[in-house]
Amino acid sequence: MALKKIVERQTGVALWRQIADRIRLSISNGDYDQTGMVPPETALAQEFGVNRHTVRSALAALADEGLVRAVQGRGTIIERKDRVSYPISRRTRFSQGLGRQVKEIGTRLLGHAEVPASGEVAAALGVSPGALLIELRTVSSGDGRPLSTAVSYFPADRFPGIAEEYARLGSVTKAFAVHGLDDYVRVSTEIVARHADADELSLLKLSPGAIVMEAQSVNADLDGKPVEYSRTRFAADRMKLRIET
């Protein structure tokens, strides 16, 4: 088999970071499950065609994330596997989906505000631009590790005080129920991937340079009337999105 170049130089992305990303992916793919260890630094250096020092920088970054732990004389031990699978379906509910993958789900309300609808959001929600919306900003974690951060918009006339109910109940589904909305469905989802900005790095406690997947989605009641527009950013190296069609 031909030698396969894995990492590229002079790209504006440091080799150690590219290598860290590849190793993180291998860990979450279970490539090292047999031993529970990352291959030796010299083997990785050969595999990626770089100096051992460069591999060490990559491993140091992963150790910093708490993903691995190096022990002199023994090797580099995998502390934790990654990527929680997040299901997206017609009946997507945040908490339910993560189910047995994480023991404890935490959702924190960062803040809320009443804002006029911008053009894009107005179009998605089917309201006129400038109509009053309630904006909710949240961060969700699994077992203490941040997984996603979201901004959600709800029509203020239909769901007055939804921020307070969300804060009290910790769930959009339950807050909807207070307003007599017992069921709703996901009508559209769009996904893009990009580098995280400084805000997202801090909220999601990401190692800098990390990637986020951004899902823009609309939920509607059973009559098809939109009730929620949200922009959720998932930490790409902690999550995969499972589409259920």
CA 60 vs CA 23, 57, 65, 148: distances in Å? 12, 5, 9, 24
Please, what is the minimum distance in Å from the beta carbon of residue 165 to DNA? 44
Q: Does 114 sit near its own copies (CB under 8 A)?
A: no
Q: Which of 45, 70, 49, 50 is nearest to 59 (CA)?
A: 70
Out of 25, 36, 42, 195, which residue is the one contacting DNA (CB under 7 A)?
42
Instruction: Kindly report the length of the chain.
Output: 245
Structure tokens at 92: 């997507």
**Nearest one of 108, 79, 99 to 205, comparing CA atoms:** 108
Whole-number minimum distance, CB 20 to DNA, in Å? 10
Query: Among its own copies, DNA, none, what binds residue 224 when CB lies within 5 to 8 Å by partner kind?
Result: none
21 binds, among its own copies, DNA, none (CB under 5 to 8 A by kind): its own copies
Describe the crossing of helices 41-48 and 52-65 by its angle, rounded to 10 degrees. Answer: 110
Whole-angstrom distance between the N-terminal and C-terminal Cα of the chain? 38
5 binds, among its own copies, DNA, none (CB under 5 to 8 A by kind): its own copies
| Residue number, 99 or 208, with CB nearest to its own copies | 208
**What is the C-alpha to C-alpha distance for residues 90 and 113, in angstroms, rounded to an integer?**
28
CA–CA gap between residue 185 and residue 40 (Å, rounded): 49
- Select the residue interacting with DNA from 46, 51, 96, 101 (CB under 7 A): 51
Cβ-based nearer residue to DNA, 34 or 245? 34
Residue 11 found at the interface with DNA (CB under 7 A)? yes
d(CA 40, CA 12) in angstroms, rounded, equals: 27
Q: How far is the CB of 110 from DNA (least distance, A)?
A: 28
Which residue in the set 44, 45, 61, 156 belongs to the binding site for its own copies (CB under 8 A)?
A: 61
Least distance to DNA, CB of residue 117, Å: 30
Quick one: which of 64, 157, 182, 244 contacts its own copies (CB under 8 A)? Answer: 244
Token pair of 195, please? 């580098």
Output the smallest distance, CB 196 to DNA, in A.
16
Distances (CA, A) of 228 to 174, 221, 237: 14, 9, 27
Among 77, 151, 177, 201, indicate the residue that binds its own copies (CB under 8 A): 201
The single residue among 108, 186, 225, 231 that binds its own copies, judged by CB under 8 A, is 186
Interacting residues toward DNA by CB under 7 A:
9-12, 14-17, 38, 40-43, 49-54, 56-57, 59, 70-76
